[in-house]
Amino acid sequence: MPAPDLAPARTGRALLLENIHADARALLAEAGWHVESAPGALDEAELLERLEGVQLLGIRSQTQVTAKVLENAPDLRAVGAFCIGTNQVDLFAAAAHGVAVFNAPYSNTRSVVELALAEIIALTRRLTVKDRAMHEGVWDKSATGSHEVRGRRLGIIGYGNIGSQLSVVAEALGMSVFFYDRTDKLALGNARRCGSLHEVLEVADVVTLHVDGRSSNSGFFGEEEFARMRPGSIFLNLSRGFVVDHVALRQHIESGHIAGAAIDVFPTEPKGSGHAFESELRGLANVILTPHVGGSTEEAQEDIGRFVAAKLRDYALHGATTLSVNLPTLGAEATPGTVRLAHLHRNVPGVLAAINSVLAQAGVNIESQQLATRGDLGYVVTDIAAHASDEVGRLLRELPETVRVRQLG
């Protein structure tokens, strides 16, 4: 169990990995944090070594924050995933150790949508093949195999933030949109919802995946799905690398059944820029391979940097958990002129009464109080008139339901 942070400390150390935008560093530094950074991902042993004394950690998609890391990083208060996905963080273990996790669920949506559209057009026009031929000195002024996207049928698998926005923009280009999602989603524009994945595959000229990183999606798209796609269709994956069988994809491209593909994510990816990249899909004609750059525009990275860093700052200074992916959500700042006690606990009856009993017996006056719950966890923020004593901290920590206690302000 983490020790309570009852000795108020408004700032501390932050570690940002994987080339997180400079605006994140600037925002945290302006709030008084000592910020360290590293350009690439760290493996588990390296991360454990670097996390000593670190309260805030920023990562992107490659650094894995495992249960072992969380268990051995008692100073860690929050993790910011400067990306959409959080499957690289053990969310259950983070919650169990009182570590809040935040991400950027919307900031790079447009960037991914624009890349998908660019790739759909490039593959449909076979621009990659034309470009390679020109660089090799071959002039091939032929329309064979090249098509307009207008009038073609786009199948979107996963109709979340990215899939739904892609739907709208693709329709504006004249495409007919079909989509499939495991949950019931409202169709935008003239998009048509399909009752099954196979229904989409059998009708679409272009299939694009925009699914999340849950473990059940591993191997989601393989030989059977590629075989069901229409002959001459195009395939894109800008979601998660582990959802697609790349060996099966290569076979269907080489056979001519799949006319082209664009892949931005891979089951195993290098730790950083300049490292060697291996894939079964290298060297194939009309295949676009990009190094996980779907959300890597300057605009998106700037927005993500500011958004997630602000979440880390607000949690560290005020206990705000708005948009946390693993803790109950409370967003209010502390009442002016007060000190805040943030108490994360197991969600069982009687905890709020026990907290207030400790405060009452110590003569602590409560100015305001809020409670939120989420699954097995409860979160109480209590604004009090003055700093709580070490004895109050000890009593709150010793409540059997306590996960973590912090004093802020």
Span 128-162, pLDDT tens digits: 999 999 999 999 999 999 999 999 999 999 999 99
Q: What is the DSSP letter of 248?
A: H
Q: What is the DSSP letter of 220?
A: -
List pLDDT tens digits, range 264-319: 999 999 877 888 999 999 999 999 999 999 988 999 999 999 999 999 999 999 99
Given a cut of 70, whether residue 9 has pLDDT beyond it is: no
Is 117 strand, coil or helix?
Answer: helix
| 147 among known catalytic residues | no
Q: What average pLDDT does the structure give for the chain?
A: 94
Given a cut of 90, whether residue 233 has pLDDT beyond it is: yes
Q: Is 89 within 8 Å of 79 (Cβ atoms)?
A: yes
Question: Are residues 52 and 82 part of one domain?
Answer: yes
Of the residues 292, 340, 404, 406, which is catalytic?
292
Question: Are residues 176 and 272 part of one domain?
Answer: yes
Structural domain count, the chain: 2
State the pLDDT at residue 37. Answer: 93
Within a domain: 185: yes
Of the residues 210, 240, 250, 343, which is catalytic?
240
Within a domain: 8: no
State the pLDDT at residue 216. Answer: 86
State the pLDDT at residue 5. Answer: 58
| 292 among known catalytic residues | yes
Among the listed residues 118, 114, 91, 116, the one whose alpha carbon sits nearest the alpha carbon of residue 102: 91
Find the domain containing 33 and state its range: 13-106+298-408
Within a domain: 253: yes
Of the residues 199, 269, 333, 401, which is catalytic?
269
State the pLDDT at residue 6. Answer: 56
State the pLDDT at residue 1. Answer: 46
State the pLDDT at residue 142. Answer: 93
Burial string for 175-203 (b: 16+ CB within 10 Å, else e) reads bbbbbbbeeebeeeeebebbeebebbbeb
Which of the four pLDDT bands, split at 50, 70 and 90, describes residue 409? confident
| 49 among known catalytic residues | no
Question: Are residues 285 and 164 part of one domain?
Answer: yes
Residue 170: in which H helix or E strand, if any?
A: helix 161-172
Q: Is the dihedral of CA 144, 149, 155, 159 positive or negative?
A: positive
Q: Is the dihedral of CA 343, 347, 348, 353 positive or negative?
A: positive
pTM score: 0.83
CATH value at residue 316? 3.40.50.720
Q: Which residues does 301 contact at the CB level (< 8 Å), separation at least 6? A: 20, 21, 82, 108, 295
Given a cut of 70, whether residue 3 has pLDDT beyond it is: no
Within a domain: 5: no
